[in-house]
Amino acid sequence: MKKLGILLLVLIAVTGCSHSPYYSPKAGGDMALEGYTYDSFFLPSDSGNQLHSVFIATKDLNSKGLVVHFHGNSGNISETVEKYLWLSDAGYDLLLFDYSGYGHSSGRANFANLRADAQSVFRFVEQQFASSENYSLISIGTSLGGAVMLDGLIESQQRELFDLVVVDSSFHSFTEVAQHVVSQNPLGFLGAWLIPLVVDEQYNPLPRLQHLANTPLLFVHCESDALIPWQFSEKMHQQSLKNSNLELLQGCKHARTFTPESSENRPRLLSYLSQLEAASTDLETLAKVEN
């Protein structure tokens, strides 16, 4: 009976990684954006919820493009803004938002809602920003946000909308990431084998990356990430070799890839964004020649 009780407790812990319990929404939170020009608004989602969103305009007169950020499981945009706020200083506009149930957004966090949220954000970006010339569109997803972003993009009509999609500290399989996290606990080995029974694999990013064959992908991961192994990003990179790159970074913790304490990694991302600028300039020059 004692062993059965332990197994039941482990199963309860494991199911905490499945569907709605996969998410740990944190409500409230105020943005600290002194010195920045920004607009706070609510974006209607196909989930039926209102997503608290913040658009931060770069201080540069001529913006290089828009960066959309999908944050991770814990916290909300008031806490995760530091991850990519520095790109505003580098000449890019930012669009941040909280999923259903997170921050000041309405509703509950579950897989169906977050998929609908992602698709709604992509459609909003297409409607509001896609027509701008010499303006790159970049989407970045951190940790769980990477999986949400990839799923939403694959299932949307905007698969080829972005000039670059950055998957930061994320994973290829809900099952394998749950097994890895659970196995870190003292009794985790007892429950790891139960995970495939309670975690739905149909939403795993890895087997569906083929649908993004025409979308440039960049996988970034800290080699010392203790929560999600960098090998998970490598698996996604290997699945999409023709249209992806992999950057393994040093001296950073999970989902802290480009935060202030890891600012030395920022030039690695900026080099990819600079390539987008160069390509845009080349296209503009070609258009002038043809005219």
Domain ranges for the chain, please list them: 34-174+201-290
Residue 28 predicted with pLDDT over 70: yes
pLDDT bucket at 64, cuts 50 / 70 / 90? very high
Residue 281 predicted with pLDDT over 70: no
Integer Cα distance of 82 and 78 in angstroms: 9
Residue 287 predicted with pLDDT over 70: no
- The answer to whether 146 and 153 have CB atoms below 8 angstroms apart is no
Residue 12 predicted with pLDDT over 90: no
CA 176 to chain centre: 18
pLDDT tens digits, one per residue of 120-174:
999 999 999 999 889 999 999 999 999 999 999 999 999 999 999 999 999 999 8
In 73-135 the beta strands, taken as DSSP E runs, fall at 74-75, 92-97
At residue 182, the pLDDT reads 76
> 35 to each of 26, 31, 85, 260, how far by Cα in Å?
26, 12, 12, 17
Average pLDDT across the chain, whole number: 87
At residue 177, the pLDDT reads 86
Domain range 34-174+201-290, its CATH number among 3.90.550.10, 3.30.70.260, 3.40.50.2300, 3.40.50.1820: 3.40.50.1820
Residue 2 predicted with pLDDT over 50: no
- The answer to whether 46 and 100 have CB atoms below 8 angstroms apart is no
pTM to 2 decimal places: 0.88
- The answer to whether 225 and 196 have CB atoms below 8 angstroms apart is no
Q: Quick one: tokens of 80?
A: 């995760």
At residue 10, the pLDDT reads 43
